[in-house]
Structure 1
Amino acid sequence: MSLAALARDFDLSERTISRDLERLRLSGVPVDVATGRGGGAVIDRGGSIPAIAFDLREIAAIRPISQFPTVQRVRWCHV
Structure 2
Amino acid sequence: MEVLKYLEALQYESADTVMGSIMSATDFPALAGIEDACDVQHSTTNQHDLEQIERYQPMFYNVAEHRLVNQADVLRLLDLVTQKQ
| Common fold by TM > 0.5 | no
Q: Which has the higher contact order (CA 8 A, sep 6+)?
A: 2
Higher helix share: 2
Larger Rg: 1
- TM-score (normalizing by structure 2): 0.28
TM-score, normalised by the number of residues in structure 1: 0.29
